[in-house]
Amino acid sequence: MREVFLLILAAAQSFDGTYVGTLACPALPGQTALRTEFSLTVSGSTASYERAIVRPGTAGGVYERGRGTVTPAGEVELRGACEGSFSCTAEYRGQLTGISIRLLGTQHWRVRDQDALRDCEIDLVPRPKS
């Protein structure tokens, strides 16, 4: 009976909150590797994210943003796109655990009239409650 109770508690776990961390990707043609802040917000079965698009020598203000789903078991799937004059789409997937989280995904860029794909990793932790 105790095992059933624990399974019910695990299934009812809430992943709501904000997760912060780092997005890391190899270099696109003619650029350096990317390492930038990443923020994920979960509310119920919905997740949203954003990260600043970093271009050498420029300030932030342009973002990649996206949305996705979270299953009751914590599986997250995200799809997003770049804003402004940047041409990119992205997909990330992973498992929320409430502790440390790793999402893996692919970005598809259009750079100098050529398509470029890169695999990325996102490492996140829950943002401490204030």
Identify the structural domains of the chain with CATH numbers, from first to last: 14-126 (2.40.128.120)
Taking 50 as the threshold, does the pLDDT of residue 101 lie above it? yes
Strand segments (E) across the chain: 17-25, 34-43, 46-52, 63-70, 75-82, 88-95, 101-111, 114-126
Burial of residue 115 (number of CB atoms within 10 Å: 0-12, 13-18, 19+): exposed
pTM of the model: 0.83
- What the block records as the tokens of 64 is 């990649």
What confidence category does residue 15 fall into, taking pLDDT thresholds of 50, 70 and 90?
very high
pLDDT digits (tens, 9 = 90+) for 41-100: 999 999 999 998 876 555 557 889 999 999 999 999 999 999 877 789 999 999 998 688
Across the range 19-45, mean pLDDT stands at: 93
| 46 vs 3: CA distance, rounded Å | 29
Give the three-state DSSP class for 101: strand
Residue located via tokens 């990793």: 121
